[in-house]
Amino acid sequence: MTIGGIGLALPPGAKQTELWDGYFREHFPASARPLAERIFANAGVVTRQACVNPLIEDVSDWPTAKRMERYLVEALPLGKEAVSRALIDADMSIDDIGLFAVCSCTGYVTPGLDILLSRDLGMAPATQRLFIGHMGCYAALPGLGAVSDYVTARGRPALLLCAELTGLHIQPSTTRFDTQQIVAHALFSDAAAAVVVRPDGPGYQLAEVASVTDTATADHMTWDVTDLGFRMGLSPKVPQVLALHVRTLVDDLLARHGLSRGDVDGWAVHPGGPRILNVVERELELSVEQMAASRETLAENGNCSSPTVLLIVERLRRRVRPPERIVTLAFGPGLTLYASLLLRNAG
């Protein structure tokens, strides 16, 4: 099975400096402002996108119910755009799709995006659906694994959509010094990415998806539903945990396919933040050039949660000389590390 098409949909963007000067400077307490300004300046983000731009509309005091209503309003057209672009890229019709899977951790609605988008896109009533929720930034990789298993078993194409609206979850301004919220507000962004997986043809073959979860550090990354949106918990120890596991995860994955890190010419590393990228670069002994696509995505798009690794794959795929072998890496609650190996098939 191969990734035959990718489609991206990005809401309007804003400069990181504009977001700081126009909103976040006054959003954080005075005692936290010097640190917050440094965090925003050193986040590696130049531009990021938001369906609800805080420079125009402040949602920080909205109750969760109102945020969920807005999630539906914004996520549907964004998801439809990404899916439509992926189908065009794959030169396929919506009628060809046997399974439609959706990943999202930034909103809840029932009927879900899978059902409502199936309706709006005109999918057949017999199309199977799967919703993957609350897995966070790494959800695209188990999502790819699930749709690929379907393609292998049924011999029919499948479609995966990752849609996240993190901008809906800006937390209220408080007098409490909260470094974790500052970091979250400096990094996160909105996006949707869709992938068509088919039994054969040109594209990238998904050779394997692998993971490791360190349950002893489950409290290091959290995403709690509160009365005022979803609240991020992000321990500064996360990079240390990644350092313990990422080399073994990647080396074992590659060894099962007779490869080593030197055989990989494309790296799509989820940019959870500059420290995350620095740790992966160090532990895997990667060059600045090998990490360039991940850092460029962080700079241009921020951390978009689950769609981000697909944004990086698309960036690599569109190079004049696309990589022959891509390793993707993404990290999230658990604390969980996911990896996949993609092998280029010229058809």
Closest CA to 297 of 331, 275, 273: 273
Quote the tokens at residue 152: 């292998």
**Residues ≥6 apart with Cβ < 8 Å to 149:** none
Q: For residue 330, give the DSSP letter.
A: E
Contact call for residues 192 and 307 (beta carbons, < 8 A) = yes
Q: How far out from the chain centre does Cα 34 lie?
A: 29
Cα dihedral value 35, 40, 44, 47, nearest 10: 180
Instruction: Give dist(CA 232, CA 107) in Å, integer.
Output: 14
Rounded to whole angstroms, the Cα distance separating 338 from 249 reads: 8
Name the DSSP letter for residue 209: E
In DSSP terms, which residues pair with 97 in a beta bridge? none
User: Please, what's the b/e burial string for 191-213 (b: 16 or more CB within 10 A of its CB; e: otherwise)?
Assistant: bbbbbbbbeebebbebbebbbbe
**Cα separation, 345 vs 132, whole angstroms:** 28
137 is catalytic: yes
Pick the catalytic residue: 103, 105, 137, 162? 137
User: Given the structure tokens 């990005």, which residue do they identify?
Assistant: 10
Question: What is the DSSP pairing of strand 2-9 with strand 203-213?
Answer: antiparallel
Report yes or no: 149 and 84 within 8 Å, Cβ to Cβ.
no
Check: CB of residue 215 under 8 Å from CB of residue 336.
no
CA distance 303 to 309: 9
**Residue whose entry in the numeric block shows the structure tokens 């440094």:** 38
- Residues known to be catalytic: 137
